[in-house]
Chain A
Amino acid sequence: DQQVKQNSPSLSVQEGRISILNCDYTNSMFDYFLWYKKYPAEGPTFLISISSIKDKNEDGRFTVFLNKSAKHLSLHIVPSQPGDSAVYFCATHPVRWGSGNTPLVFGKGTRLSVIA
């Protein structure tokens, strides 16, 4: 039973436009969320995170929005660049930050293609 769901396996966006990647989770106890980016033949790399005390976190072209009532988060990339083409994974820790090393639970990922 998937605790973190990314319902879109792929997304295609034109260069310069906004990319929106979505993620839904099942448990309202989840309170810290991360996005990872993965290029082929490389390990996932951390991109951006958000704690449930916030509803938005921004880092350059990347913004993550959290809607706790809907148990939904999204990653916005604007403007999208061809180098952003990768698989993006949403992940969460099932317990409060700092209280233990529970493993990250990942979604299945969304493959983003940014077309020049």
Chain B
Amino acid sequence: GAGVSQSPSNKVTEKGKDVELRCDPISGHTALYWYRQSLGQGLEFLIYFQGNSAPDKSGLPSDRFSAERTGGSVSTLTIQRTQQEDSAVYLCASMRDSGANVLTFGAGSRLTVL
């Protein structure tokens, strides 16, 4: 597509439930990143994909967080047994290739855990 598409744009869930957030990157972009922005905080790196593999998972805050990418395109970020501190805007970004530097972000998925 023309831009990075994320869904849902808004998700309200109860503590303890699992959620899935989806990212559809720009067509042809091989690198895909997940960040999150909690209230009053900057952009926190979570995980990055090059193609379908994730060379850098260092930012995932706990083992409740996982992500996958299939077909070198769509990625899903899954949060199991959500906690209130997981409430944040989850941002996905893609980049053309390893020679590029500029990330193009989606509008984000706002997650609220009650």
Contacts and interface: CB of A to CB of B under 8 A. Distances in A.
Interface of A: 4, 6, 32, 34, 36, 41-46, 49, 89, 91, 93, 97-98, 100-109
B101 A43 contact: no
A108 B93 contact: no
A93 B91 CA distance: 18
B107 A42 contact: yes
Contacts of A105: 45
A93 B106 contact: no
Contact of B91 (A4, A34, A43, A109): A43
A46 B100 CA distance: 13
A36 B95 CA distance: 15
Task: Output the residue of A34, A43, A104 with the most chain B CB within 10 A.
Answer: A43
A107 B42 contact: yes
Contacts of B99: 98
Interface of B: 4, 31, 33, 35, 40-43, 45, 48, 50, 55-56, 59, 91, 93, 95, 98-99, 101-108
B82 to A, nearest CB: 22
A93 B35 CA distance: 15
Contacts of B105: 36, 43-45
A41 B102 CA distance: 20
Contact of A101 (B50, B59, B106, B108): B50
A103 B104 contact: no
Given A41-B107, A103-B48, A89 B101 contact: no
Nearest to A51: B101
29 contacts: A42-B107, A43-B4, A43-B91, A43-B105, A43-B106, A43-B107, A44-B105, A46-B102, A46-B103, A46-B104, A49-B101, A93-B101, A98-B98, A98-B99, A101-B31, A101-B48, A101-B55, A101-B56, A101-B95, A103-B33, A103-B45, A104-B45, A104-B103, A106-B35, A106-B42, A106-B43, A107-B42, A108-B42, A109-B42
